[in-house]
Chain A
């Protein structure tokens, strides 16, 4: 099934902003983002910690609705979904 993963800001610079992905049925949001990020270690490491969990400041949206990153491992991706991943920034 076709899904879109969108990386914002610094994540997008490292991983590409828009990624059309042919995903397998039943894949979780967390695994989808991991696969999409796997090509670039720096990008992967800014999103995921050493245990492979989302870093706690990362915001993940599924079809414009926020999902808790703790739940992303158990939420399945559906056909045509858009998953957006972005880092809030702290500077001023």
Chain B
């Protein structure tokens, strides 16, 4: 076993909340399931559409029209019957975010809009659990790991929401960024390696280049200013 018995137990004891079962949520959830993360909670409020199938690899042609949460739950349980999968058919909003994240040891951001991402960011700050951020468009993507109290929060890094994407996402980009997020979750749960903490990774698939830029806490941040004064 790559992680030893102790590592596998650490994974088995963990609960990870995956927000969204789309392009990023598909690879993240599949890989965390095969990794053996003991409890996966995955939430989505959508139905499987034919246009999803080029990147949302949880779903197949025969699933078109079904609720994503239901299909994702079945598929992840097939992939690893030894873990607990809770697939929730719910909209993530200010009313549901705290109950969805209640038992989580970490939150994976697999969403496609920033207003909801900011809710996850707030929940992560309040619960002091990590937020594994990813965002994609076309052949481009970004990822970072937010550790409340130790790194800038998502709102420090991206204070204003970029416009909703009008460009379709390439399936390979979802896979690439999703696996970076899953790798971060794995390292975090095993306390190994260097997390993408305080660093924003930028992927340009067209150029075949990865860059990273350092990020800083914004003293005027709408989400975290004042919260961690004197702590970090």
A residues at B contact (CB < 8 Å): 8-10, 12-13, 17, 56-57, 59, 61, 64-66, 84, 86-92
Contact A64 B137, CB 8 Å, known A12-B207, A89-B162, A90-B163: no
In this complex, how many residues of chain B approach chain A with their Cβ under 8 Å: the count is 38
A59 to B135, CA, bound (A): 15
Q: What residues of chain B lie closer than 8 Å to A8, measured between beta carbons?
A: 140, 202, 204, 211
Whether A90 and B204, one on each chain, are in contact in the complex, defined by CB atoms closer than 8 angstroms, is no
Q: Do B112 and A91 have beta carbons less than 8 Å apart?
A: yes
**Bound CA span A47–B213, Å:** 19
B9 within 8 A of A: no
The total of Cβ contacts below 8 Å across the A-B interface reads 79
Cβ of B192 < 8 Å from any Cβ of A?
no
Of B20-28, B31-39, B57-65, B96-104, the one contacting chain A is B20-28
On whether A87 and B134 interact (CB within 8 A), knowing A8-B202, A12-B207, A66-B215, the answer reads no
- Residues of B bordering A, CB below 8 Å: 20, 22-25, 109-114, 134-138, 140-142, 158, 160-165, 167, 169, 174, 202, 204, 206-207, 211, 213-216
**Nearest CB of A to B74, in Å:** 22
B204–A9 touching, CB < 8 Å: yes
Q: Is the CB of A91 within 8 A of B165?
A: yes
Residues on A with C-beta less than 8 A from B142 are 88-89
Q: Bound complex: CA of A84 vs CA of B200, how far in Å? A: 14
